Every structure is written in structure tokens, then in C-alpha cells.
Structure 1
């Protein structure tokens, strides 16, 4: 299979496993095309129990070593003992930490959570969305965060999302587990990527988050209990909204710079 040239890609997500669940397919796709890929994770620390699982998942996806901002998960105090929660962190500080990673990696495309908090509305998802929007703009401005490196302006920012018509079977599974389903209107989705060629890689990355797979309520655990064919249908499509700064037309089938 000939893979077209694709831009370098940085994923910025709230928790370990978000990268695999929401953009594992496009991360694997871009890596397979020879494009540099990386992931910044806003919560949990390098010494926490989930850090090795994150490292294993990123290795599967070809997305380099973990880059953790080191903040606490809003709902899990063991994520970063003694550290401030992401939702309580000073905004300027959190943006500056992310700007440093953007300037170091110099990605052409950045992907993060959507504004509603990714189906379940987790406050860390919403906060990560806000921080990323600010950091992508600030990274290109020399007068902001001069200590964070030479300016670099990504060419495109995408929000990983789920459309009302595309949430499908996943919505019912989340509701059964007592979770909310905050899908966005179909018109908000600018890019729908068929990642079925990379679905096996994506699933291996999700499985690397062993602690979440072993539990019933987290999405990795829900997916692990499904028949393989049903699971493949759910994870083989990824939805995005291009934000520059609002939804604009783009290639409807892949992420472009």
C-alpha cells in the first residue's frame, strides 16, 4: 500500500490512553508515512503507575517517549501526589509548559480534545482543549514565553471529536456504563478518517493501558469485552474538527497542514 506524504503530528491529550482511543489511528498512519509524531499528556507523572503503560502504547504507535506536563488528574489523587490538579493549575503556567513542547517538537499539525470534553465531558479534557488552543497560538509569538525556545507556529489545529451520527454503538455502551455522551453536531466535523488499515496497531496501543483494560467502566475495558468485529467497527473511524480558530473546510478524509 502506498501511503501519501503526511505532516508531522503532535497529539496533546489529558490522560494516558486518550491518545490511543481518540487519535491512535492517525498517529499510526502518520508514523507509517514517515512523519514525525509525538504525544504530550497533561496529567499523571513519570513515576506514576500509568507512565509505563503510556510508554508502551506510544512505542506501539511510533510516537516517541512520554512527555508529561505532570499535573494531577481531577478525579484521581494518585496521578500526581503533591502536585496541583490540571483544572486548578495557573493557566499561564500550563500554557507555558505546553508551548515549550511545541517549540521543541515543531509539529505541522496539533490534535487535542474538543471543547465539550470528548463524549464524557471530563473536566481534564475540556481544560486540555483550552490550554492547547492558547499554546498553539502562543508558540508562534516570540514575545510570549521567550524562555520556552524559538517560536514555532503549527499550520493546523484539530480537535478529536465524535459526531451525533457517528457515535453509533459507542454511545449506547457508554450510557450503559453510566457515562454521559456529549457528541457534537455532524456539521461541526470537518474531517473523518478511515483508520481501518491501522486499527490493529491502534488496538494494541489501547491494550498497552493494561490497568484501564482490566476495569469495567473505562472505555478500554468496555472495548475489550466486545466481540472483535464490533470493536473493529468502533475504533476504525476517527472524527476531527479543524480549528483555525473555528471550524473551516479541509481535506475530509485526512489531517492536512
Structure 2
């Protein structure tokens, strides 16, 4: 039995990944701020083995409690999909961005990712047999920004550094770490893209999206590799979105 922790599991990509992992035979701890969406995710796969664990990833105590509850129930942690994130402040020009919004985005997207990765790393280092895998949800914005997205883009660039450091520091303990950079998966967060979103040349233009299930299939593939192999970085995106040639 393999044990996964998925943050941001109450909707969108997190929900799709959790359901795909369950279908592939994983037991999945569902983490997110509110219990109701997590329970809705679990209800979509009644035969799945889920643990619903309401968690604010910006809280060190709540993250510690999450991983303690997973280990108490299952005995180990084999996978963390570090997915929780926010696009707060997106669309706001840099000169108008409230520093409190900047800090809130950093707290969730970067500090929250660090806290979850740290807790997973500790568990994977201590358990027998030793090891596990961390998959960080990066973004196309880990490579190139959208207009008026400085907080989100900065955190996603930082996620790449987090991934590289975890990958290096995990080597002695059979802890693999990779990053999946996602572009235009169809979720509530990206709904506005189909109606029209600001482009680098100042136009508003609709953008194509892909099914979040296609992202989930990539995560399941990465997660299923033996720990001797690792997808270090992968990009999965809507084929015709403006990434290649963006700007």
C-alpha cells in the first residue's frame, strides 16, 4: 500500500490528482483549508481510501498535525503532491499591489510549500524502508510571467529553487523531488482565461485550456516511478496556449 498526501485537494488540480491516485491504488490524505470540499472530493470515489485532514499550510502546527495524522493512520508517507496555492493579487499592477497581499501569496505558495515539504522530508527520512517522493506544483509562471502577476510569479520561480534543494538534500535518504509546471488546466482559477485575459501586448484574448485529468495522469506517472528514477522537471500545458512565444 502506497500513501500520498495531496494539498489543495478540495478542488481543481488537487482534486483531480487525488482521485487519479486513488484510482491507481494509492491511499490519499486530502489536505485543504475547509473540511467540506475535502469530503466532496472523497465522495467522488466511494471505493477510495481517503483521510480528510483540514489544514492551513501556512501554519506550522497544522502541517505537523497533518503529517502526524497520516503516520498514525498509515504508518508512513510515500508521496507529497505539494499543490496548495493562491493567485491573490493577480491582475494588479506592481505599483498598486498591497504588501499584505504580497506576503499572503508568499505565505501560501512558498512558505506553505516549504512547511509541507519539510514535514514530508522528515517522515520519509525517519521511516523504514526509508525514502519517498515530493512533487511540487510549479507553473508556467516558474518560467515566464503573465502581466501583473509579480507575487505569484516570484513564488513560482522560488518553487524551482525549493525543488532543486530538496532533490539534492534528499539523495542520501532515497527522497526524490520533482516539479510539474502546469499551464492552463481547466479549473475555477483559470475560468477567466476562456473569456479573455490580458496578454503581454495589452490585448485581452481567450486562451485554450486542458482537462485537469491530463495533469493528474502526469502526476500518477511521476509518482509511480521507482525511487531510483525521477522526473526532475516536466511541463504539461494546453497545446496551443501562449507559452512558447509568449511576450
Choose between structure 1 and 2: higher helix proportion: 2
Structure 1 length as normaliser, TM-score?
A: 0.48
Structure 2 length as normaliser, TM-score?
A: 0.49
Bigger relative contact order, structure 1 or 2 (CA pairs below 8 A, ≥6 apart): 1
